[in-house]
Amino acid sequence: MNDIIRDFLLETHESLAQLDLDLVALEKTPRDRETLDRVFRALHTVKGTAGFLGLDRLQAVSHAGENLLSRLRAGEIIFNPEIATAMLAVVDAVRRILAGLEATGQEEEADFSDIIRRLEALTKGAASNRAQPAAPPPPVVVGPTRVTVLPPEPPPAPVLAAVSMAEPAEGRHSAVSDGSIRVDVGLLDKLMTLVGELVLARNQLVGFRAAREDPALHGPVQRLDQLTTELQAGVMKTRMQPVGSLWGKFPRVVRDLAAACGKQVRLDLDGGDTDLDKSVVEAIRDPLTHIVRNAVDHGIEPPADRLSRGKPAEGRLHLHAAHEGGKVVIRVSDDGGGIDPGRVRAKAVAAGLLSADLAARQSDREAVNLVFLPGFSTADRVTHFSGRGVGMDVVRTNVEKIGGTVDLESRPGGGTTVSMKIPLTLAIIPALTVTCGGDRYCIPQVSLLELVRLDGDQAHTGVEYVHGAPVYRLRGNLLPLVHLDRLLRVDPTRPADGGATVVVIQADDRPFGLVVDDIHDTGEIVVKPLRKQLKGAAAFSGATILGDGRVALILDVLGLAQRAGVVSGPRDRAAAERPSAVAAAQARETVLLVASGGGRMAIPLAAVDRLEEFPRASVERVGGRSVVQYRGEILPLVRASRPSRHKRAAKRRPDEQRRLQVAVCAADGRRVGLVVSRLLDVVEEAVTARAPAGRAGVLFTAVVQDRVTEFLDIAAVVKAAHPAAVSPE
């Protein structure tokens, strides 16, 4: 059944019930203007919608009724039982048509001319009606007798009998309206809160039972436990809404947008009965709309282009929802032109979101995901994913806010698929409880990857430092470590054995290790929002009450990661480095390895023009900078390492004082001479292990040839060496 018709049925069934009541009430108080107006409006709405949906019979019947009501409202006739009977017959006729509509999806063939004629007669008979002295006396006097005369059921007037012969109006009620009732969302929220309290009380009691070992307690507590679980599931279910409730508007959105763009788009929807918590449904409404609009606007090509590429003129847009591993996955796929990774790279570079150097090193899959970068989509409208009020970065932010993820896959020429993976509910979530500085904190299970326990020795030897930033080699990969106590600025209470407990969590696709004092149990927690006094604390997403009645804060994994610098802030330009680093993880890279001031660095070979040796005497100082004359230009010299270290290194190797080893690197058409201690090697390496950069000019740190190596950001180095004042631009 069409969604519009379904909604119409649901609404109209409700207003019909009210119509019955109002018409009966009008018999008691015929001059009740308010009720009369309400009846008129209700019937007017039915008529209007019927006309809109092309339901001619329904329109005719309601129109006739409306005419009669107009005269009643004008005061030309007074409501009387005869009119009530006729109007109730209209209501029944409407009901009958709706029932037929619900059963067959069509307006059934039925003749309502009797009712219409009767209504017309009543409308025309206004004069005689008004002349009748039988106009009802004041309602106060009449009331009691009328009530007894009229049962709540419509009186079995002949007209009514004729109309509802096929099915008694009450007997075969609508399945659509009978099967569901409308409930105030506030009430559901309250029920959810109460169930949350019950879950907590249950948890407390279960702990109590374990402590007491009282057999008398065992049975009742177990039953309460079970009932609470079932009640929780039941109440959560009442808050569930099918994803399909979001989809209702898409046929129209797609149709209008396609027409505006001169495109032909066929929209397929499936999995609309997949249930989600109402709050989640609301939260994904805007992101989903944005993705769908993008697909039509930029994904699907105009018919002529499609035909020339051997595709049908009509593009296909497919919305699919399904449960997958305790989450809901919504996919929006189109068979359009896809996203050209090259164009996205060029666009991102042009917008200054990342360096050309970085962009070139990204895999195509990573490159298309650049559209999620802040500032990417709103700048202009060149690419496939240009802005429409909100950018894809906002889509990503909004989805991640509710604990979901967004991913984009594209085959150039073959179409694009955007997948959103979202949790079923936000109110009660599984979480791990940890302690830190004597307090307990909850970490949502969705962001947990694994737990690593380091004993005393491991905690000392296993943790390495990259420019002061602790990392741990987890199966060969460098895992950045973040100490929760330091991050939260609370006093540490380290375990006596000097060991450490590392909770490996994932934020924004970047895993990192959160070092905590101890790990407790996992369990379901009821998420409570933080009051505005605490909104400033970005490290927490909410609070909960634990089994013993104490309050615990829920860690905001993304906020923590941002705070620790594991991932960049949402508006930080450096966010560009994130996907590039992931991209590099998959790509094999040829790098020049150099020793510099006691450390090792890697320079992408693509960025190296030449390797040169300059006599130290040729170095000249200009405006506080070291330069050399090189091939007719002035080449700024930059030390790859920190100056202090270099000085120390220089003392040890005086021979380096006479000749400088320089890697001439270029980016954006400008060159810079990178002074290094020694050139080590050129290697092709699959760079897999990494940690965030410890300082400016460094992209990230990774293990190359079993040594921790800094990867230089040549673009940044060149930029720094060519300040705007002297740059050729």
Partner 1 sequence: MPVDRQFCTFLLAGHHFGVDVTSVQEIIRAQEMTRVPLTAPVVRGLINLRGQIVTALDLRRRLGLPDRPDGDPPVNVVVRTDDGAVSLLVDEIGDVLDVPESAFEQSPETLTGPARGLIRGAYKLDGRLLLILDTDRTVDLADARAPD
C-beta of 551: minimal distance to partner 1 in Å? 4
C-beta of 563: minimal distance to partner 1 in Å? 8
Candidates 439, 464, 572, 685: give the one binding partner 1 (CB under 8 A).
439
Which residue, 316, 366, 322, 319, is CA-closest to 341? 366
Alpha carbon 264 to its chain centroid, in Å, reads 28
Candidates 543, 676, 687, 704: give the one binding partner 1 (CB under 8 A).
543
Q: Cα(66)–Cα(79) distance, rounded to whole angstroms?
A: 14
Candidates 141, 210, 537, 686: give the one binding partner 1 (CB under 8 A).
537
String of contacts with partner 1 for each residue 444-483, x by CB under 8 A: ----------------------------------------
C-beta of 546: minimal distance to partner 1 in Å? 9
Q: Does 550 bind partner 1 (CB under 8 A)?
A: yes
C-beta of 489: minimal distance to partner 1 in Å? 6
Q: Does 528 bind partner 1 (CB under 8 A)?
A: yes
User: Tokens at residue 721, please?
Assistant: 């060496």
Q: Which of residues 553-572 bind partner 1 (CB under 8 A)?
A: 553
Quick count: other Cβ atoms within 10 Å of Cβ 490? 13
C-beta of 528: minimal distance to partner 1 in Å? 5
Give the SS3 label for residue 433: strand
Applying CB under 8 A, which part among 95-103, 255-263, 351-359, 434-442 lies near partner 1?
434-442
Q: Cα(640)–Cα(663) distance, rounded to whole angstroms?
A: 10
- Taking the least distance from each CB to partner 1, the nearer of 108 and 197 is 197
Q: Cα(613)–Cα(635) distance, rounded to whole angstroms?
A: 13
Output helix, strand, coil percentages for the chain, rounded to the nearest 5.
45, 30, 30
Q: Does 539 bind partner 1 (CB under 8 A)?
A: yes
Asked if 128 contacts 109 with a C-beta cutoff of 8 angstroms, the reply is no
Candidates 292, 488, 687, 717: give the one binding partner 1 (CB under 8 A).
488
Instruction: In the chain, count H helices and then E strands.
Output: 25, 30
Candidates 247, 372, 472, 540: give the one binding partner 1 (CB under 8 A).
540
Please, is 628 exposed, middle or buried when counting C-beta atoms within 10 Å of its C-beta (0-12, 13-18, 19+)? buried
Q: Does 551 bind partner 1 (CB under 8 A)?
A: yes
C-beta of 426: minimal distance to partner 1 in Å? 16
The single-letter code of the amino acid at 665 is C
String of contacts with partner 1 for each residue 196-235, x by CB under 8 A: xx--x-----------------------------------
Give pairs for 450-457: CB < 8 Å, separation 24+. Answer: 450/504, 451/501, 451/502, 451/503, 451/504, 451/519, 452/501, 452/502, 452/504, 452/513, 453/499, 453/500, 453/501, 453/502, 454/499, 454/500, 454/501, 454/502, 455/497, 455/499, 456/497, 456/498, 456/499
Applying CB under 8 A, which part among 88-96, 113-121, 351-359, 542-550 lies near partner 1?
542-550
Q: Which of residues 348-377 bind partner 1 (CB under 8 A)?
A: none
Q: Does 533 bind partner 1 (CB under 8 A)?
A: yes
Q: Does 552 bind partner 1 (CB under 8 A)?
A: yes
Q: Does 588 bind partner 1 (CB under 8 A)?
A: no
Applying CB under 8 A, which part among 125-133, 137-145, 541-549, 656-664 lies near partner 1?
541-549
Q: Does 549 bind partner 1 (CB under 8 A)?
A: yes
Half-sphere exposure of 421 (CA within 13 A, CB side): 10
Q: What is the per-residue DSSP string for 188-245? A: HHHHHHHHHHHHHHHHHHHHHHHHH--HHHHHHHHHHHHHHHHHHHHHHHHTEEETHH
Candidates 103, 185, 322, 490: give the one binding partner 1 (CB under 8 A).
490
Binding site for partner 1 (CB under 8 A): 196-197, 200, 437, 439-440, 488-490, 528, 531-534, 536-540, 543, 545, 549-553
